[in-house]
Amino acid sequence: MSCADMKSGRAAMRSSRAAMKSLILKRSIMIAGQKTSVSREEEFWQALKQIAAGLDMKMAELVHQIGQQRENGNLSSALRLFVLEHY
């Protein structure tokens, strides 16, 4: 690989990372009667909303269910793993 190829590859990676930057959104959700907040990227929340719609559920209901089923760890991790396993 030539030096020019390496430079253009690095430039493409920087451009890709810049395009991938996302706004982090904090959402408040009720879990077992307690209000909690989770911060995730907008794309993550959209994916979770699509999964909930496919299951004919509201996103809050799905988050509550995932929160109830987690064995350990925090809610943010449980949600991330759920979305990853779904896709």
The tokens of 14 are what?
A: 């920087």
This prediction's pTM: 0.68
The tokens of 63 are what?
A: 């988050």
Q: What is the pLDDT of residues 17-61, one digit of tens each?
A: 555 666 888 888 877 788 888 888 888 899 999 999 999 999 889
Distance of alpha carbon 77 from alpha carbon 72, whole angstroms: 9
Distance of alpha carbon 6 from alpha carbon 17, whole angstroms: 17
For Cα atoms 16, 18, 20, give the angle at the middle one, nearest 5 degrees: 70
